[in-house]
Amino acid sequence: MDKHSIYDIHKSLLREEIITNPRVMICSTRRMTIEDDFKQDKPYPKRIVRCGYVNECPICSYKQDRRLFARVLPIVKLLKENGGDIHLLTFTLRHNKSHSYRELKEVLHKSVKYIKSTYPYKKFYGVNDRLFSLHQYEDCWSPKTGFHPHAHIHLGTTGHASKEEIESRMKPKWVDVVSLFTNDKSMIPSEDYGCDLRVNRYDPFYPEEKSLERELEKLRKKSNQEDRFKDFKYDETNSKEECENYLVEQHQSIDEEKPPPIEPTLFQKMVYALKTIYKNFVNRYRIHFRTNKIHPLLQKS
């Protein structure tokens, strides 16, 4: 995601009336002159006014993420120079339309928190091997399977355990941990799909998937392109009265025959999903970065 996309997301959230905080609504839409500029005889350069609400504003949250990633870069360089590696652990739950978003998030958070205290996690990513950890919680939604919250844990490690060895211990342990926090067997993942490990990563910045906001924009454009009068072809043989009569008949038939909405459309479902995800994002910062201060590499530096 680049800086231009985040502004488009902010606009889409405003358009769907999901962002309601007045300060967040006008974020990055105004400029102001700083007093120091006047002292230096530079009154013309103006700076963009940010709201500063990182827990509610996607723009300010993105800016904070950039500053966070800047802190990670020198630590990654230190890790690579000393033969370390970056691992990406992804934890997911089995999900379907019957699972509520709140229940999925609650089970996921409790399970991720608990698995970090288990023996396999401490064995492969203990204080002697783990240089840093960066946690990301992401949310997806699809009309077929519903909500899909999942967690990514980026780990900078100096351990030398193989990918196969780590997966053989972590995958069954994740299934056992999830079973502790839910009795719903349809939410408990399998060993093959519940836990995924990727090694030899260049950096800890997980590429973001196709966003829900872009899907909303595609559906909106598609709906605007629909022509409800596509059966009527205008040519010189049609008189003005015939065209007007046809349009009147079409409008009357639409008003009279339009059935009451029984089930929300796909676009309405996606807007509802986006509102749900955004409400969960408020007051919960989605990225957590921690360094292991007692790691031997940091002690040397």
145 and 92, same domain (yes or no): yes
> Domain for residue 193, yes or no?
yes
**pLDDT higher than threshold 50 for residue 230:** no
85-92 and 195-198 strand pairing: antiparallel
What percentage of the chain carries pLDDT values higher than 70?
72
The strand pairing partners of 37, in sequence order, are: none
**pLDDT higher than threshold 60 for residue 2:** no
Contact 206, 88 (CB under 8 A): yes
> Domain for residue 14, yes or no?
yes
Count the neighbouring beta carbons within 10 Å of the beta carbon of residue 202.
8
Cα 48 to Cα 27, 124, 164, 230, 288: the distances in Å are: 9, 45, 49, 46, 27
Give the whole-angstrom CA distance, residue 170 versus residue 125. Answer: 11
The region of weakest confidence among 25-34, 61-70, 133-142, 228-237 is 228-237
Write down the pLDDT at residue 210. 45
Find the mean pLDDT for residues 147-166: 93
51 and 11, same domain (yes or no): yes
CATH number at residue 156: 3.30.70
Write down the pLDDT at residue 70. 86
Nearest in space to 154 (alpha carbons), one of 248, 79, 67: 79
Encode pLDDT of 7-60 as tens digits.
888 888 888 888 888 999 999 888 776 665 555 665 555 678 889 888 888 888
> Domain for residue 245, yes or no?
no
Number of folded domains that form the chain? 2
141 and 191, same domain (yes or no): yes
Highest mean pLDDT among 27-41, 217-231, 250-264: 27-41
pLDDT band of residue 236 (cuts 50, 70, 90) is: very low
Cα 210 to Cα 173, 248, 271, 294: the distances in Å are: 30, 42, 16, 38
Signed CA dihedral, 88, 134, 72, 23: sign only: positive
Encode pLDDT of 78-120 as tens digits.
999 999 999 999 999 999 988 998 899 999 999 999 999 999 9
187 and 88, same domain (yes or no): yes
33 and 161, same domain (yes or no): no
146-157 and 130-142 strand pairing: antiparallel
Nearest in space to 148 (alpha carbons), one of 60, 69, 210: 210
> Domain for residue 251, yes or no?
no
160 and 300, same domain (yes or no): yes
146 and 288, same domain (yes or no): yes
Count the neighbouring beta carbons within 10 Å of the beta carbon of residue 282.
12
Encode pLDDT of 268-300 as tens digits.
787 888 787 777 666 555 678 889 988 888 877
Domain limits for position 3: 1-71
Indicate the pTM of the whole model: 0.72
47 and 114, same domain (yes or no): no
Write down the pLDDT at residue 54. 83
Write down the pLDDT at residue 88. 94
The region of weakest confidence among 27-36, 129-138, 154-163, 220-229 is 220-229
- Please name the amino acid found at residue 290: R
185 and 60, same domain (yes or no): no
Higher pLDDT, 282 or 228: 282
153 and 191, same domain (yes or no): yes
> Domain for residue 112, yes or no?
yes
Boundary of a domain, candidates 71, 91, 108: 71
155 and 116, same domain (yes or no): yes
**pLDDT higher than threshold 80 for residue 198:** yes
Torsion angle, alpha carbons of 5, 10, 15, 17, to 10: 150
Torsion angle, alpha carbons of 42, 44, 45, 51, to 10: 120
**pLDDT higher than threshold 60 for residue 213:** no
